[in-house]
Structure 1
């Protein structure tokens, strides 16, 4: 859920509506009436009717094409009527008439440019949202037998999508979960994330061993690098930190975990908050430098415990003094105060709000907060 831009055209249009009706026309209309009334009640030597040229300009910034054209015509007609109401010696004449007419024409052109820009912005927003839904596909409630919740915040709010990725894949041998962060930003990072998720969705479904799924992800990352190098791209040494979790089908008190250079998940439950075994493996794409793939850890998990997985946007969030967000401590305090905080949706909302509050809303990196637990388990 990317944050809305302050200048977002959709947000502005919502502000200019009351009960679903547009009120964008109110400001230029009030200005037109005010200028006309003041002009009528002033002396002939200090008339201000020519200021009516501002009306279509205001309309161009707030209204659509139809509204701008209407105010350009209305301003011109009002000018003619107001000017002719004065004796001849006090009339402003042809020069100001041309000024108002040209002002209305230029305001219409400006509105055309603005509307086209807004349509282009909306189109690009739709493209970004479609890309995000393709890479980070929507997850149905209870997908794979897991109660889950997730929030994704892109550091580049205009792009609305980055290198963070997550997914749940139910399969023949249990349900697998993948959360990770591709090194770098931009479309190249999105492309690498999409490649890893595509491999995960196939391998996570078919492969009986989590170690094999991990191997397939490593191979895919290396193949992606070779393909990028063949295309002549500069950034061919891209890698990804990731957490691969397996929920065995017939072992409800155990999870399997493979950590590719990623912060270990937190197990949040009735017995408190504890991290899973630390990630002693290299990131995806760099296993050759570490002498092989990281091991598969089998970790006991009490019924009702929630696994909290986050990316660097959370763990590296800093406040004004440069202090990192104390994730484990904050979650432990919240769960101790209210055990319901361990529920996936509550936990994700708590971490999201705490992270944004800690860094003052200035995210230095893409941020993913993902929480899962077996469906139907309550501490």
Structure 2
């Protein structure tokens, strides 16, 4: 924990205490979530409650055999929430209580034995079902982990600052279980300025993921090598011509920032980016010379054109895929992205995209039916450049100093316990 010294005395820094408490709380929540994801058994509260209700009903009603059959609901329900051990425990409890109630109510031995045998059979079957479910859950967790790793390898995280820009990305795959889809994005600094791409591969599943990886790989290499943005497009086009099928293609917008105050935009059959001026107005950057999607140039012979867009301090550019603009609500109304962007535009791209994403999910009722990607960059103004107060989590320390005319206050880094 950081310790502050002021005028020769020592005291605990209140912001540091707050940061430490927040970090400990987040760490505890993370450990709890990890235990649940690892399949750690939980207490069979509901199954035990069901068994208890059956016992209380039998004690009050005194109906004997009428209620004893319902004790099998306990282990059957435990199979949906607990592992085999929990199922066996609930089944054992139900069997003991059933035998006790049967003896109390004078149930004939043959009938009671039949009921207890059925209860044991249900417990065994539920235990096997629980074991199979637990195994499938572990396999699914492993598959999700691999898919998430593949996504991070293909779609590398975008830092909050890239070159002169603030940046943020939000990505949602339609196949939520896989966490990866056919949309692609990249934002990289190069010797020729910051360059970015957002695209959408035709189709879904593993073939689309493979095509997205191919496009991103070529883009990342060509963006460093080619001084001309159109040459980057040509490199991608040639690679797709060698590797794609006749009916496959990729819509994309590729942009670059070669000099201060100007953006270069190449649109290849993709939805037009949205330019947010510092004044708050939102304008679609429509291509003056529309070009076909990547992979189809050989069929049309049409080459893309380069658009130059003024981009001043405080301006923002939003690139997106059709999973956003084609999202519909229950009344089959499309989501109006430009209007949403005008409502939620702020000086922080991450906050803007979070608000847009939340509004989009609310519009569709909680789940998207197509992959959706949002990439927002912003050219900050001079007054936006501030130094945030450091937040320390774990064993790392922080240093902050302020020099005055007669005294100096320092905050040295002290490892936390």
The answer, yes or no, to whether TM exceeds 0.5 is yes
CA contact (8 A) 2:269 2:293 kept: yes
1:1-379 maps to which residues of 2 (within 5 A)?
A: 24-43=43-62, 47-87=66-106, 89=108, 92-225=111-244, 236-248=246-258, 251-271=259-279, 272-278=281-287, 280-332=290-342, 334=343, 341=346, 343-361=348-366, 363-374=368-379
User: Relative contact order (C-alpha < 8 Å, sep 6+): which is higher?
Assistant: 2
CA contact (8 A) 1:304 1:377 kept: no
Change in 2 beyond 3 A, CA 1:67/1:204: same
Match of 2:49, SS state, is helix
How many Å apart are 1:24 and its aligned residue?
A: 4.3
Deviates more, 1:205-214 or 1:103-112: 205-214
CA contact (8 A) 2:65 2:102 kept: no
Whole-angstrom distance in 1 between the partners of 2:365 and 2:60 = 51
Match of 2:346, SS state, is helix
* CA RMSD after TM alignment: 2.7
Whole-angstrom distance in 1 between the partners of 2:297 and 2:369 = 27
Whole-angstrom distance in 2 between the partners of 1:329 and 1:38 = 59
Q: Using structure 2 for the length normalisation, give the TM-score.
A: 0.76
Q: Which runs of 5+ in 1 are unaligned?
A: 1-12, 230-235
CA contact (8 A) 2:62 2:105 kept: no
How many pairs are equivalent? 347
Q: Which runs of 5+ in 2 are unaligned?
A: 1-31, 385-417
Which segments of structure 1 move beyond 6 Å, counting only runs of 4 or more? none
CA contact (8 A) 1:315 1:327 kept: yes
CA contact (8 A) 2:313 2:380 kept: no
How many Å apart are 1:44 and its aligned residue?
A: 5.8
Q: What per-residue deviation string (whole Å, max 9, x for no partner) do you get for residues 60-112 of structure 1? A: 11112221121122222332333334446588432112111111111111111
Match of 1:211, SS state, is helix
Q: Using structure 1 for the length normalisation, give the TM-score.
A: 0.83
